[in-house]
Amino acid sequence: MNKICIVTGGSSGIGLAIVKSFIHNGYTVYNLDIQPSTFGHFIECDMSKVEQVQQAIIGVANQEKQVDVLISNAGIHRSANIENTSEELLDEVFAINVKGAYAATKAIIPLMKKQGMGSIIYIASDQAIIGKSNSFAYNLSKHALASMAKTTALDYASFNIRANAICPGTIETPLYHTAIDKYCANSGANKTDIHAEEAALQPLNRLGQPEEVAEYALFLASDKATFITGSLQVIDGGYTTG
């Protein structure tokens, strides 16, 4: 039987790499995003709207009758310390990063309970483990995803539903380049120099690639990882070891 995977935020970056990897490995993949994509079955969905997310997930569940994997990847980043984090900015980050994951998980759990199995994977961040400056709301949201993985794993282990969080470090995605471009525009720094400095911060002396995170997700979703649940899986080139 063909396996079914739902990915949120699968139109670019890590999400797109995950969609491509799962398709390549025989999955039927549904991509929930506001940005259109030609990869997988695209469903336009604003992840900040709980009802939209739930309707999209339930629609796939009703059509396919089984969903093996949910990958909650959709997220945004905003740079600010707590003083510069307005209530509106906090709400914006949490609406997508946390409420979107909440909505998708809550919608898929009944089907996974009924089918007696499932794998839920949250794409968190190394910031679910460590703190980084000028990243108050984002850091807070990624800690929330780590908590979601742990509590969901405990609450639904008896139904053979596994929940884990992948915690990528600095990965070279469009989101990464947007952040670097914005920093350089504001500071006057040279992008090539900043890019090299970011790579040098990693013990492996390079940035991670989206495809590497996708392969990690593929493993966690597979039958090779059936004894792994409630875990935070770090893929950061050794950055958090210090």
pLDDT, one tens digit per residue, over 204-230 is 999 999 999 999 999 999 999 999 999
pLDDT of 242 > 80? The answer is no
Residue 164 lies in a domain: yes
Among 138, 156, 216, 239, the active-site one is 138
Residue 187 lies in a domain: no
Q: Which domain holds residue 76?
A: 4-170+209-241
Q: What are 10-39's pLDDT values in tens digits?
A: 999 999 999 999 999 999 999 999 999 999
pLDDT of 239 > 90? The answer is yes
Q: How far apart are CA 39 and CA 36, in angstroms?
A: 9
Q: What is the pTM of this model?
A: 0.96
Q: What are 34-61's pLDDT values in tens digits?
A: 999 999 999 999 999 999 999 999 999 9
Q: How many CA atoms lie within 13 A of 233 on its CB side?
A: 22
pLDDT of 172 > 90? The answer is yes
Residue 190 lies in a domain: no
Count of domains observed in the chain: 1
- The percent of residues above 70 in pLDDT, for the chain, comes to 100
Has 30 been annotated as catalytic? no
183 pLDDT band, cuts 50/70/90, is confident
State the pLDDT at residue 202.
95
Residue 175 lies in a domain: no
Residue 179 lies in a domain: no
Q: How many CA atoms lie within 13 A of 1 on its CB side?
A: 8
What CATH code is carried by the domain that includes residue 64?
A: 3.40.50.720
Return the SS3 of 125.
coil
Residue 110 lies in a domain: yes
Residue 94 lies in a domain: yes
Q: Is 122 exposed, middle or buried (0-12, 13-18, 19+ CB in 10 A)?
A: buried
Q: What are 104-154's pLDDT values in tens digits?
A: 999 999 999 999 999 999 999 999 999 999 999 999 999 999 999 999 999
* Biggest CA pair distance of the chain: 56
Q: Phi first, then psi: what are they for 122, rounded to 5°?
A: -100, 130
Residue 143 lies in a domain: yes
Q: How far apart are CA 145 and CA 71, in angstroms?
A: 12
The mean per-residue pLDDT over the stretch 185-189 comes to 91
Write down the residue that tokens 């090779």 correspond to.
Answer: 224
